[in-house]
Amino acid sequence: MESINLKTLAKQLNLSISTVSKALRDSHEISEATKKRVNVLAKKLNYEPNPHASSLRKQKSKTIAVVIPEIANNFFSLAINGIESVAQERDYHVLIYLTHEDYQKEVNIIKHLQSGRVGGVIMSLSSATKNFDHLHELINHNIPIVFFDRICHEIETAKVTTDDFQGGLAATEHLIINNCKNIAFASISESLSIDNKRMQGYLEALNKHNILPIKSNFIKCTNNDFNNYTKIKKILSNKNAPDAIFASVEKLAITIYEVCDELKINISEQLKVICFSNLSTAHLMKPSLSAIKQPAFEMGKEAASILFKHLDKNRTFIPNEHIILKSTLVARGSTLIK
């Protein structure tokens, strides 16, 4: 009921509060004998230091914020898994904030974090974010940000991504090699780093194989599933519909599958599909989905490790650094001719 704190311990041990505090923190000022006494009682009474008092006094907290667009998404939940795994190991705590791809929500969340609630932030940009003032301001408040996947080039800090250009290139070349002549590229935003890099890879592949990019083959989707569905349906109903789509993100591939279901389009025979994805059921789909698989868990781990390393050393500024992890192309039924 009544929480037990340093005062309680001190009273029971006939010691001062400072002595108890120092004993618990294994200070050299305290004799081994008293340290033992203190630790024994602390364990016995299940003492847990008050994190608010500690954070207030030390002006920093062992807590970070993870700010991401959504969580019901295999990539992001795996990344959180990675972040949490190193947080648990290092005794850090993880706050989750979702922007739902909404710029204003992202701004509000970041603004709140100026309060000093967290020591640092790991984030992936919302697809709607084009202005980065809120992020600069946060950094001016000495709260470092590490980006992963959807990064912000404009801000000097650490960034963790996969080789998106290479992935886009590989995916597109894979389609070309499998005889596709009219390959479309579907993206969810025009500003996101991942969309741009993957598109550059797509363009490079076309260029390498002397294929001229066609304007109508850039399928500009948004965050609205329904609109994406109708847009894709319209495109696939067309007489000169593409014979392959390289989708920048998983959800678009799912929509494509759904459209093909409705239009009775045979994926792989009439239309090949590949996308960046971490779907755990990609190999069980009909047809199994070819994908560029990102090391999402490792990306989270890496981003968290970098952040914690700096926080532990009280380094509030993180110099530019770009960690690029490898993603792997897994060719499956959706891009192969039977």
Partner DNA sequence: ATTATTTACGAAAACGTTGTAGTAATTTTT
Partner DNA sequence: AAAAATTACTACAACGTTTTCGTAAATAAT
Residues making contact with a second copy (CB under 8 A): 1, 3, 46, 48-53, 55-56, 61, 63, 70-74, 77-78, 80-81, 84-85, 88, 93-98, 105, 111-112, 114-117, 137, 140-142, 254, 257-258, 261, 279-281, 283-288
> 181 vs 283, which CB is nearer to a second copy?
283
**Beta pairing class for 328-330 and 290-293:** antiparallel
Of these partners, DNA, a second copy, none, which one is at the site of residue 165 (CB under 5 to 8 Å by kind)? none
CB of 144 to a second copy, least distance (A): 14
Q: Which does 217 bind (CB under 5 to 8 A by kind): a second copy, DNA, none?
A: none
Buried b (16+ CB within 10 A) or exposed e, 162-182: bbbbbbbbbbbbbbbebebee
Residue 279 CB, shortest distance to a second copy, in Å, is 6
Min dist CB 113 to DNA, Å, is 14
Strand partners of residue 186: 219, 247
Nearer to DNA, 11 or 234 (CB): 11
Contact 306, 318 (CB under 8 A): yes
Is residue 274 within 8 Å of residue 119, measured between CB atoms?
A: no
**Closer CB to a second copy, 90 or 105, in the complex:** 105
**Cβ of residue 114: shortest distance to a second copy, in angstroms?**
5
* DSSP assignment string, 168-182: HHHHHHHHHHTT-SS
Q: Which is nearer to a second copy, 35 or 105 (CB)?
A: 105
Q: Which is nearer to DNA, 47 or 202 (CB)?
A: 47
What minimum distance in Å lies between the beta carbon of 228 and a second copy?
Answer: 14
What number of other Cβ atoms are within 10 A of residue 245's Cβ?
A: 28
Pairing of strands 272-276, 63-68: unpaired
DSSP 208-276: HTT----GGGEEE--S-HHHHHHHHHHHHHSTT--SEEEESSHHHHHHHHHHHHHHT--BTTTBEEEEE
Residue closer to DNA by CB (options 49, 224) is 49
Q: How far is 110 from 141, CA to CA, in rounded Å? A: 11
CB 16 → DNA: shortest distance, Å? 3
**Which does residue 26 touch among DNA, a second copy, none (CB within 5 to 8 A, set by kind)?**
none
